[in-house]
Chains A and B, each alone.
Chain A
């Protein structure tokens, strides 16, 4: 069992948990992820390690309540525990001194996994320019944290309610146009955003890394459910990634495979809500279609 030491609402539907997991905290590196299971009937859910504290023995996860499993997770409170937590999984981000100027891009809650990477890059002595994108000001997270580990921070909002109006690629293009010499771009967020970043840097030949989020089951390389097409090769994101060269990724194939269980996911959400109505599990302000 893994205890929730801290629960914080970052923005509506977006939660932060600090979990007691000393052994994982000891080994975790930027870019890696964990898989958790809330209870005995639960599925295995992959989440990026948003932060880790080796002294306190904690890891931080940030998640959006998008489906039945994340809602179940979100309903837990401080002091309660989740059943299974395994990690750190996946390869760590390539970080070394004197890489030059690195642009770290986080879209939506993708800012969370970008944070430890930006911090690692900064600690290694690199110049870090961060771009954070959100639909609007209310759902922007981790601004102070990102400022603390970056040389420059640009915020973009789709509706212009804060920072630059536009997408993360708007700010990225401005940097390119200004002639900033970018050694590498690291982008994490929704697949459409990562694809846009890849297309923005491709003409300039700027090395670009994205962290992919395909469907996973075990997370240790034994099933291939997370396979993605990278150039001419099929790779398992859980062990070969999750980070890959953005210019080689088949984003269309990734999005296609992410839709595999759309029907079942709707059914599952419906199932959970009916349970809640019947008082079988904790009642919540649920917004799913069954109400």
Chain B
């Protein structure tokens, strides 16, 4: 029988129903689907898919075990390279990573690597966590990780496996970084997935201290000089929201996507007043931006009861940086895409509430330095739309709290920490950095890759230092 050129479909919640709840949209493969999908894999001698994976999971290896129905063996192969597979299988933009390089993609659809990774991870979680605590040596060295997002969690897991006693310091009251406050429940369940994967790290022996703001409660120097940490890994992410700087951005009803999503995901404002944090969503919501954060905010608005939700993006469909599947889901749920549009002002009423947004139409010019075609305003094309909530999702920068209290560690002109691309080493001895704080806002899996590389480099550094 010839191999199907299409992926096996994954069951999903009906768009009309799911747009009113916060439960997961994509329901995951059954065992039967997973085995059938695994059988599409040609087990290439030189697997191209692996070079698309930032942590180089042995993809044909774990898929081969699914074919044999050796699911425990399969997850073991994944976990050698990736400590958070249930998360990555859900949120990686596979179409631009592993699946992009799959040989089947040349003729049809690639093997559904992400869905298969998710399948084996979920199956293993459902069977209960059998993580064993690490037996630390009496003279095990201590390593501090600042920030508990994907980069920090990945570095901590790798360092623990190498025998280091790791403490993660997290500023918020819940670990996970963007996995907890940013990515919504309907894409990444918190209690069933994020918490469980973080708990298994704790079980392994990683300590997580919440409510601990680096740069305020302690400095990097204090961790190394007073608290006995031999090395520090900084993974504080890109958490500083950018605003547009246009007129009317301080009206009530204008949110940064960070605030909007934090209220909803971390504080569970969608369960107000059972949960005490309020959120304000009107009937007409405009979300500005075209990335995953914008999609998440738009789809969250729908679920909070908005009648009409716009995505306002200054480039075209092809330039949307969001994950393909999420754009597709957003459209199915009825999000109105205003592409090639840019806001120029937000207008409010006497009481200070948002009423309208003035937009201008755009066209695409020549490619800019980033290689994307530059949007140019079309003169005289301004018009107004009625909105009562505006969510600004145009990107985030680095929070300066740690950098500004760490003398001897260089930052670039954007405020990102300067670190060696391969090792994460900063200009300060013993201090490493990785993830969005170095690269600027990127993806979960790239941050995890950076955490993994830095863990290896920290291991080298501490071994060399000991000799």
Contact = CB atoms under 8 A, between A and B. Distances in A.
Partners in one complex: yes
Interface of A: 23-24, 27, 37, 41-44, 68-69, 72, 83-89, 217-218, 220-225, 227, 229, 234, 239, 253, 256-257, 259-261, 264-265, 267-268, 271-272
Contact of B259 (A68, A88, A225): A225
Contacts of A42: 276
Given A27-B217, A43-B267, A239-B401, A223 B252 contact: no
Interface in B230-267: 239-241, 243, 249-250, 252-253, 255-256, 258-259, 262-263, 267
A86 B274 contact: no
Contact of A268 (B239, B276, B400): B276
B352 A220 contact: no
Interface residues of B, number: 40
A256 B352 contact: yes
Nearest to B396: A222
Nearest to B276: A43
B280 A260 contact: yes
A220 B401 contact: yes
A221 B280 contact: no
Contacts of A24: 217
A244 to B, nearest CB: 15
Contacts of A224: 241, 243, 256, 258-259
Contacts of B252: 256-257, 259-260
Contacts of A44: 173, 267, 277
Contacts of A37: 173
B276 A223 contact: no
Nearest to A86: B211
B275 interface: yes
18 contacts: A37-B173, A42-B276, A44-B267, A84-B210, A88-B216, A218-B171, A221-B400, A221-B401, A222-B258, A223-B241, A224-B256, A224-B258, A224-B259, A259-B351, A264-B272, A264-B279, A268-B272, A268-B276
A256 B251 CA distance: 8
B347 interface: no
Nearest to B255: A225
B263 A261 contact: no
Contact of B278 (A41, A218, A229, A264): A264
Contact of A88 (B173, B217, B243, B249): B217
B275 A41 contact: yes
Contacts of B243: 224, 227, 234
B173 A220 contact: no
B276 A69 contact: yes
B48 interface: no
